[in-house]
């Protein structure tokens, strides 16, 4: 793992990273297949369908068939990349993911876009808060919540080098600030310690890494210098780092854009239960609730996923 923080304030969207990296991979590897369920314009892969028709298949609004077909492609030696909105990529095609991909030991890179609060105004039918919990429970499935487009690109390239069953969730059309430089590399199953502080450790994934970094700036004005960890790899995950943080910090705060049940908070709590150390533990996540309609800022406020909410959680825990 060799990463560097991006200091030039670059931004881009996950879907631009997706299409640009797919173009790169198609040009390098004849095995690459791009699978869509009538969302080519949403994911911006429509240009790929024109430029590389032999590498692209549109299954229409038929996600289960798309996933079943990906299993067959894998058996034939191909490397499928499939995309849909997170609820359709996971809930709608769950049995096919289990049987045609996981149980059959097939390869698939599954991009579930607009997960959690990223769904914004799409509403309850198009919102997946539970996708992390559901996919983490499937054997062979590796689950990732990358914090920026650079990490997302790295995962796509890693899938080509080390094929398997990858579920990668994230945003879609929103521009995201780059945390890492283009040449950064990571390691599956390892967290990224973005800043080493003391006493308080904030573990976050996805969009919440950005909120955690903003919270750290506020906390320093209170004399608190928290450790910040990008926990992008949710399965496999960094058990050793968890145990080290428990041994060296007084307060562990987890922040995630997913259900409070079965995600990053649950795996950290399990590690804490196994530990001989007993730091205090706080968890910010989406409650056991269905998705709602609203802007990104409205949903962050609704579910207390803002940097200010992290600051308040840390300060209230330290005052107890």
* Residues acting as catalytic residues: 63
Taking a C-beta distance cutoff of 8 angstroms, is the pair 25, 156 a contact? yes
Q: What are the φ and ψ backbone dihedral angles of 316, each rounded to 5 degrees?
A: -65, -35
Residue 131: count of CB within 10 angstroms of its CB = 26
Our measurement of the distance from residue 313's CA atom to the centroid of its chain's CA atoms, rounded to an integer in Å, reads 23
| Distance separating alpha carbons of residues 251 and 253, to the nearest angstrom | 7
Tokens of 293: 């309609």
Residue 216: count of CB within 10 angstroms of its CB = 23
Taking a C-beta distance cutoff of 8 angstroms, is the pair 239, 145 a contact? no
Tokens of 271: 């590690």
- Enclosing H/E stretch for 81: strand 79-85
| Distance separating alpha carbons of residues 12 and 283, to the nearest angstrom | 29
Taking a C-beta distance cutoff of 8 angstroms, is the pair 34, 47 a contact? no
Tokens of 172: 């879609």
Q: Which residues of 228-267 are buried (b: 16+ CB within 10 A; e: fewer)?
A: bbbbbbbbebbeebbbebbeebebbbbbbbbbbebbbbbb
Secondary structure class of 56 (helix, strand, coil): strand
Secondary structure class of 169 (helix, strand, coil): strand
Residue among 238, 19, 235, 207 nearest 111 (CA): 19
Residue among 122, 138, 91, 116 nearest 260 (CA): 116
Taking a C-beta distance cutoff of 8 angstroms, is the pair 189, 236 a contact? yes
């Amino acid at each position: 793992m060799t990463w560097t923080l991006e200091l030039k304030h670059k931004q881009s969207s996950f879907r631009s990273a997706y299409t640009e990296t797919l173009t790169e991979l198609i040009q390098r590897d004849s095995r690459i297949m791009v699978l869509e369920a009538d969302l080519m314009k949403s994911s911006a892969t429509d240009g790929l369908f024109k430029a590389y028709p032999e590498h692209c298949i549109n299954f229409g609004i038929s996600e289960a068939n798309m996933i079943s077909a990906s299993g067959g492609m894998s058996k034939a030696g191909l490397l499928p990349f499939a995309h849909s909105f997170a609820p359709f990529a996971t809930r709608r095609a769950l049995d096919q993911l289990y049987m045609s991909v996981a149980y059959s030991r097939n390869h698939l890179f599954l991009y579930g876009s607009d997960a959690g609060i990223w769904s914004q105004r799409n509403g309850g039918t198009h919102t997946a808060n539970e996708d992390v919990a559901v996919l983490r429970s499937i054997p062979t499935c590796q689950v990732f919540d990358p914090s920026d487009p650079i990490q997302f690109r790295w995962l796509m390239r890693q899938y080509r080098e080390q094929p398997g069953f990858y579920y990668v969730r994230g945003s879609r059309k929103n521009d995201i600030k780059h945390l890492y430089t283009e040449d950064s590399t990571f390691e599956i199953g390892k967290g990224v310690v973005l800043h080493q502080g003391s006493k308080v450790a904030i573990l976050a994934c996805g969009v919440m890494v950005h909120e955690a970094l903003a919270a750290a700036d506020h906390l320093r004005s209170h004399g608190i210098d928290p450790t910040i960890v990008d926990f992008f790899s949710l399965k496999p995950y960094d058990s050793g780092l968890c145990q080290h943080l428990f041994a060296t910090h007084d307060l562990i705060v987890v922040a995630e854009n997913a259900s409070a049940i079965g995600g990053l908070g649950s795996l950290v709590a399990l590690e804490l239960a196994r530990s001989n150390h007993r730091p205090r533990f706080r968890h910010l996540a989406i409650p056991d609730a269905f998705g709602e309609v609203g802007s990104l800022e409205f949903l962050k406020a609704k579910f207390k996923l803002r940097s200010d909410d992290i600051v308040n959680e840390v300060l209230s825990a330290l005052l107890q």
